[in-house]
Amino acid sequence: MKQRIYLDNHSTTRVDPRVVDAMLPYFSECFGNAASGNHCFGWEAKDAVERAREQVASMIGARPDEIVFTSGATESDNFALKGTARALREKGNHIITSVVEHKAILDTCRVLEDEGFTTTYLPVDKEGLVDCDELKKAITKDTILVSIMHANNEIGVIQEIAEIGRVCREHDIVFHSDTAQSAGKIDINVDELGLDLASFSAHKFYGPKGVGAVYVRGGNVGTRVKPIINGGGQEKGMRSGTLNVPAIVGLGKACAIVTSEKPDESARVLNLRERLRTGIVNGLEDVHLNGHLEKRLPGNLNLSFGGVPGYLLLKSLENEIAVSSGSACSSGSATGSYVLQAIGCDDELIDSSLRFGIGRFNTEPEIDYVVSRITEVVTELRN
Ligand SMILES: *Cc1c(COP(=O)(O)O)cnc(C)c1O
């Protein structure tokens, strides 16, 4: 059988077998509702949820009561932005974010604009970084919320979150960061980064899909956030709905694995990334790196191959190597990646871009195979 190689770990990751094992009992023997306070089935489920809450908190230097479980980073982003904006409406109506945020942020800001809020979208430089001076200039007396992602999902660029956090603190502005891509890959400490709110998604770091968390500084008595899902009052009223216990257990286990293994894993993944990058760059001319080389997730590589349409590249690889492209055809937009546009790539380079996402389960032989196939295919397509 031909081997299949998965290098699309920014889209989603394989669930770690240890996470699957941790989850299994909570589908069958331990199926209780964590809100059932009157019997042992409920207590067992609640214990598991509270253990997971500790595991998530411990990964990011937070307290367990500051963790709210959600369906993933999209919901966490919606909760953080809509919840904060609506709670602080009488204080001001101005939000600051950046042009390279995930759609879960950008689209939510559009909705808030319909509700009377205004948004400033900060630009990024050619390496993908937000300039803190631009942020300072954008702040007005009406600014209530700043949301800047930690690491970008396309070009892997890591923003100066601690510095942005300090600026927000000085101006008494709530600071949210979408940490869906950085969690499990680089250090996150909510105090060091000055975060008031942060969004997490389990399936981006070897947990199950459809579960995530939002960090809320001070919990339900701290940072003011209005719930967006109302009902039975679970999660101290911040997010109603019966808790997805098996998924939450999986998220907790994924965090515990990160806490104990991340330093080694990051170094290994970075080695693989550099092996891939140098292999490709040494074997081909006219290859461009998109995004900052050092301020970048260890597993991210985003390259443009001059003169080669990305969709043809993808087409040639689709049965054996999973990667993604910023080209218009594959990104589902008329213009191609807005992130690559924001860093000043011209249309041709956007169209010829590939995103490689290396993760926990990739191996050196896989990387070597990808280097040789990419080199072959690009050379063929150029001829
Ligand atoms: C994947 C991702 C999301 C959405 O997460 P889901 O859990 O899939 O909803 C949001 N932001 C970023 C940066 C992401 O990479």
Residue 178 Cβ inside 6 Å of ligand 1? The answer reads yes
Sole residue written with tokens 């690491």: 151
Residue 249 Cβ inside 6 Å of ligand 1? The answer reads no
215: enclosing H helix or E strand: strand 212-216
Q: Is 329 a catalytic residue?
A: yes
Q: Of ligand 1's atoms, which has the minimum distance to the CA of residue 101?
A: 13
- Put simply, whether the predicted model's pTM sits higher than 0.85 gets the answer yes
Residues 86 and 60 sit within 8 Å (Cβ to Cβ) = no
User: Mean pLDDT in each 10-residue stretch from start to end of the chain (383 residues)?
Assistant: 88 98 97 96 98 98 98 98 97 98 98 98 97 98 98 98 98 98 97 98 98 96 90 96 98 97 92 98 97 97 94 92 85 81 94 96 97 96 92
169: enclosing H helix or E strand: helix 161-170
Within 13 Å and on the Cβ side, how many CA atoms surround 64?
A: 10
Kindly give the distance from the C-alpha atom of residue 19 to the centroid of ligand 1, in angstroms, as a whole number: 20
Residue 153 Cβ inside 6 Å of ligand 1? The answer reads yes
Kindly give the distance from the C-alpha atom of residue 73 to the centroid of ligand 1, in angstroms, as a whole number: 5
Residues 30, 109, 255, 329: which is the catalytic one?
Answer: 329
Q: Is 116 helix (H, G, I), strand (E, B) or coil?
A: coil
User: Which residue's CA is the nearest one to ligand 1's atom 2?
Assistant: 180
Q: Of ligand 1's atoms, which has the minimum distance to the CA of residue 151?
A: 13
Residues of the chain with CATH 3.90.1150.10: 5-13+262-382
Kindly give the distance from the C-alpha atom of residue 151 to the centroid of ligand 1, in angstroms, as a whole number: 11
Residue 102 Cβ inside 6 Å of ligand 1? The answer reads yes
**pLDDT for residue 332:** 65
**pLDDT for residue 263:** 83
Q: From CA 349, how far away is CA 187, in angstroms rounded?
A: 32
Q: Of ligand 1's atoms, which has the minimum distance to the CA of residue 72?
A: 7
**pLDDT for residue 262:** 82
CATH number, domain 5-13+262-382, options 3.90.1150.10, 3.40.50.620, 3.90.870.10, 3.40.640.10: 3.90.1150.10
Residues of the chain with CATH 3.40.640.10: 17-257
The single-letter DSSP state of residue 64 is: G
Residue 71 Cβ inside 6 Å of ligand 1? The answer reads no
Residue 180 Cβ inside 6 Å of ligand 1? The answer reads yes
CATH fold, domain 17-257, is: Aspartate Aminotransferase; domain 2 (3.40.640)
